[in-house]
Amino acid sequence: MAMKMITAVIRPHKLDDLELAVAQLGVQGMTVVEVQGYGRQHGHLEVYRGAEYRVEFLARTQVQIAVDETLVEPVVEAIANVTRTGKVGDGRIFVAPLGQAIRIRTGETGTAAA
């Protein structure tokens, strides 16, 4: 069975909502990392005494979830719905093919390892 890797870059405070929403769809694991990024939303100015810095990057949270391809649509829709605020800066969701997944403890592969 084909698998996909869903990568979502979201606002940090939406992480808990995302976790709850995808858990209800049967997702049993994810990897989370704090990142910086920008899209169309502009950065801000930081001033340290006489030095001014234009900082384009904003704090975001990146979530990676490996799913069987049948779960891609419902999971993507769930993530988008709970993380959307309607304001510029909501983030992105990327879906990429996933060659293989292995559960380290048992050696299971494929969807059983998602």
Size of the site for other proteins (CB under 8 A): 8
Our CB check for other proteins shows the closer of 46 and 73 to be 46
Name 44's Cβ contacts closer than 8 Å, sequence gap at least 6.
54, 55
- Does 33 contact other proteins by CB under 8 A? no
- Choose the stretch contacting other proteins; rule: CB under 8 A; options: 33-41, 48-56, 92-100, 101-109: 48-56
Rounded to whole angstroms, how far apart are CA atoms 51 and 32?
Answer: 34
47 binds other proteins (CB under 8 A): yes
| 67 close to 1: Cβ distance less than 8 angstroms | no
Q: How far is the CB of 37 from other proteins (least distance, A)?
A: 17
Q: Whole-angstrom Cα distance, residue 8 to residue 37?
A: 12
CB of 46 to other proteins, least distance (A): 6
Tell me if 51 contacts other proteins by CB under 8 A.
yes
Of 110, 10, 113, the closest CA to residue 61 belongs to 10
Length reported for the chain: 114
Q: Which of 49, 86, 99, 106 binds other proteins (CB under 8 A)?
A: 49
**Chain residues that interact with other proteins, rule: CB under 8 A:** 46-51, 53, 55
